[in-house]
Structure 1
Amino acid sequence: MRLLRVLKLVLFLGLAGLAALLLYGYARNHPEDLPWTDLDLAEPVGAFTGRKLVALGGDDAPACRALLDRAGIQFTALPARSTDTQCGYDDAVRVTGGAVDLGDRPAGLGTSCPVAAALALWEWHVVQPAALDHFGQKVAAIDHLGSYNCRRIYGRAEGDWSEHASANAVDVAGFRLEDGTRIGILADWDADGAESAFLRDVRDGACDLFATVLSPDYNAAHRDHLHLDQADRGEMGWRACR
């Protein structure tokens, strides 16, 4: 009986060691899936990428801009802006290059750095693959309704301030393909065919990168755009995706 217990212990330790080796190997090859590794925009989107993007806000603005620079994302750092209310920002950037230049439609879009970083990953890993899958061509431009807007949620007179009040959100209205075709949230969300499927794919993919993703499925106020933001919800870090 004692020998049997020893054999069981040896077998258990051997299996535990094998499992540890497998986990170590996975961790080395997939740092994006681990909460304690540094964010690298060149890595694939992983289980903790969204949380790491949110953590780039606030005092980590220099680190965020360094990440953009290392990833080859062309941008201009915007001057800090503040008001006598709860509005303003000190980490905003304007993306000025790339396959999708968010500064073009309309011109001059500036967002917080975490939003800009997430938009880049969204383009690379979600938007362009979905466009190729559904239409056989890439997206040439993203239409937006802006980012910074000094207001409370839904423009109410009271209540919490919107993430737009700190440029920590962007509203995406549609996409333009290389052949000039426009796919709009308002026109195509409930349409049949590839357009609607594409819009839902890019919405679902955004949920891995942004703290909040709201679409026409959420309410009528979002019938014409996707709201994407990087709200910091503390230790729990719960995410809103609809």
Structure 2
Amino acid sequence: MRRLRLILLWRVLVWSAVLLLALWAYGWIRQRPQDLPWTDLDLGQPVGLFTGRKLAALTGDSARCQALLDRAGIAYVAMKPGGAAQCAYADAVRLQAERGTIALVPDAVAPSCPVVAALKLWEWQVVQPAALRLYGQPVRTIRHLGSYSCRRLYGRSQGNYSEHATADAIDIAAFILKDGRQVSVREDWVGKGRDAAFLRMVRDGACGLFSTVLSPDYNAAHRDHFHLDQAERGATGWRACR
């Protein structure tokens, strides 16, 4: 029995070493450090295999997260801590309007820093490329339904609290293109046209950046928005994309 355990342990160690070596080789050969789990997150790099987990790992580390925003040249205002008990938050930031970037409307929204970091990567690497590909023009504005809300999941009176309760989530309702055209989750999700294709492209792209992405495919409660959150479990545990 002891010999069998040693053999099994040896196999686990060998396969672990092989996996780590393969990951290192993949990142080195392709010159993509973002594909390696131990490299530092850089918001200026394309999305990699571990980008989503690295973003989720920023939860609760406002100093490191804000340093990343600073290095990426993102204009923001750090908000004072607020809330209490299960609804306390300490790392909310409000994006400032910048020429050439997507504006969030209403503009007073202040999600947690990890959500904002993921939103900017989503804008740069997913939303704008999809808009230029399908419409030949960029997105000017994203309409949302809010971020911070002290409540439990789906408004229940008992059970776990929503990621909205700590500002670790935002609900996205529509995209306004440069020419003023609106692409709405509620109105345009169903169908096979260009608008539906765009919404699915940006939903799928969000899945590599957020711990949880919920769309109308999930349930009726999300028929009019995408729920995007940066739950801590996304750093090491399971991720949800529906």
Provide TM-score, normalisation by structure 2: 0.87
Contact kept in structure 1, 2:185 and 2:226, CA below 8 Å:
yes
1:149-177: CA deviation from partner (whole Å, max 9, x where unpaired): 00000000000000000000000000000
SS at match of 1:228: strand
Query: Residue 79 of structure 1 corresponds to which residue in structure 2?
Result: 80
Task: Report which of the two structures shows the higher radius of gyration computed on alpha carbons.
Answer: 1
Output the CA distance in 2 between the equivalents of 1:97 and 1:236.
Answer: 33
| 8 Å Cα contact 1:27/1:34 also seen in 2 | no
What pairs with 1:193-232 in structure 2 (closer than 5 Å)?
193-232=193-232
Residue 103 of structure 2 aligns to a residue whose secondary structure is coil
Tell me which residue corresponds to 1:165.
165
Aligned-residue sequence identity (percent) comes to 61
Q: Partner residue of 1:63?
A: 64
Could you tell me how far apart the structure 2 residues matched to 1:141 and 1:183 are? 11
Q: Over the residues paired in the alignment, what is the CA RMSD in angstroms? A: 1.9
Amino acid at match of 2:72: A
Q: Aligned residue for 2:130?
A: 130
Query: In the TM superposition, what is the alpha-carbon distance from 1:24 to its structure 2 partner?
Result: 7.6
Q: Secondary structure at the match of 2:117?
A: helix
Q: In structure 1, give the amino acid aligned to 2:224.
A: D
- Residues 31 and 109 (structure 1 numbering): CA distance in 2 closer, same or farther, change over 3 Å? same
Q: What is the CA-CA distance between 1:234 and the residue it aligns to?
A: 6.9
**In the alignment, which residue of structure 2 is the partner of 1:178?**
178
- The 2-side partners of 1:25 and 1:209 are apart by 19
Deviations 1:56-87 (A, max 9, x none): 011x110100100110110000000022x410
| TM norm structure 1 | 0.87
Return the alpha-carbon distance in structure 2 between the equivalents of residues 133 and 234 of structure 1: 30
Distance across 2 between alignment mates of 1:127 and 1:46: 16
Summarize the alignment of residues 1-242 of structure 1 with structure 2, pairs less than 5 Å apart.
23=25, 26=28, 29-58=31-60, 60-83=61-84, 85-98=85-98, 99-102=101-104, 105-233=105-233, 236-242=236-242
CA shift for structure 1 position 29: 1.6
Tell me, in whole angstroms, the C-alpha distance in 2 between the residues paired with 1:192 and 1:23: 40
Residue deviations 1:70-122, cap 9 Å, x none? 10110000000022x410200000011341122xx113010000000000000
- Work out the CA distance in 2 between the residues paired with 1:176 and 1:87: 31
Report the CA distance between 1:27 and its aligned residue: 6.0
SS at match of 2:121: helix
Paired positions, count: 220
Between 187-196 and 127-136, report the one with greater CA deviation. Answer: 187-196
Give the whole-Å Cα distance in 2 for the aligned partners of 1:180 and 1:139.
Answer: 9
- Specify every segment of 5 or more residues in structure 1 that has no aligned partner in the other structure, as ranges: 1-15
Q: Structure 1 residues 73, 33: CA separation in 2 closer, same or farther (over 3 Å shift)? A: same
- The residue identity in structure 2 corresponding to 1:70 is R
* Cα distance in 1 for residues equivalent to 2:181 and 2:66: 33
What's the offset of the Cα at 1:126? 0.2
SS of 2:171's equivalent in the other structure is: strand
Structure 1 counterpart of 2:83, which letter?
S
Tell which deviates more after alignment, 92-101 or 151-160. Answer: 92-101
